[in-house]
Amino acid sequence: MKKKVSRTELRTEVNNETGEIGREVKTDTFLIDREPEFVKLYIQDIARLNDVTGKQNQVLLAFVRHMGYNNIIPTYKPIKKMIARKLNISLHTVDSAVKTFKKKGLFISVDRGIYMADPELFGRGKWSDIQNLRLVIDYNQNGTKKLSSNLPEQLQLKLGL
């Protein structure tokens, strides 16, 4: 699933002795990974498929709206307080929702107070970065599967750990 991309650059040079203007066209062609086909899925649908309740759905939406690139979601106390205040709910409700998101696999724990939104469900940033976060499932001929991901390495690179 590669896509051919070309970049053309026009250079203009002036010969200082003759005043002659010379032009050079340089074209580079390379292959990049193509973004896979996708279906747009709304947060409410993701919540419904994962049995996330009404208030938790609002909390999920608030966190995902403020998700950073590479799907990083900080859940520090001041951020949770802002969300609680904005949604007119208790801090306990926000804390409970975060625990539910982790338990259901919507959030993946990175470090204390830092999560990554599951890159199979959410994505923000360049496709090449999101692609590197995704889980790879290889199916063997005997029906078994092998799960692999470079998520730990990617998190260390992205967070500078």
pLDDT digits (tens, 9 = 90+) for 27-72: 888 787 766 665 555 666 777 777 788 899 899 989 988 888 778 8
Which segments of 53-144 are extended strands (E)?
A: 72-74, 107-111, 114-117, 136-139
Q: Is 70 helix (H, G, I), strand (E, B) or coil?
A: helix
Q: Is 89 exposed, middle or buried (0-12, 13-18, 19+ CB in 10 A)?
A: middle
Q: Tokens representing 49?
A: 């498929």
Q: Whole-prediction pTM value?
A: 0.57
- Taking the C-alpha atoms of residue 23 and residue 160, their distance in angstroms, rounded to an integer, is 44
pLDDT tens string, the chain, 161 residues long: the values are 777 888 888 888 888 888 888 888 888 887 877 666 655 556 667 777 777 888 998 999 899 888 887 788 999 999 999 999 999 999 999 999 999 999 988 898 888 999 988 877 777 766 666 666 655 556 677 766 565 555 555 555 444 54
- Taking the C-alpha atoms of residue 12 and residue 21, their distance in angstroms, rounded to an integer, is 7
In this prediction, residue 92 carries a pLDDT of: 96
72-74 and 114-117 strand pairing: antiparallel
Tally of residues, the chain? 161
- Taking the C-alpha atoms of residue 133 and residue 71, their distance in angstroms, rounded to an integer, is 9
In this prediction, residue 68 carries a pLDDT of: 81
In this prediction, residue 83 carries a pLDDT of: 96
In degrees and rounded to multiples of 5, residue 52 shows phi and psi of -95, 130
User: Is residue 95 within a helix (H) or strand (E), and if so which, with residue range?
Assistant: helix 91-103
Q: Is 87 helix (H, G, I), strand (E, B) or coil?
A: helix
- Taking the C-alpha atoms of residue 92 and residue 80, their distance in angstroms, rounded to an integer, is 9
In this prediction, residue 73 carries a pLDDT of: 92
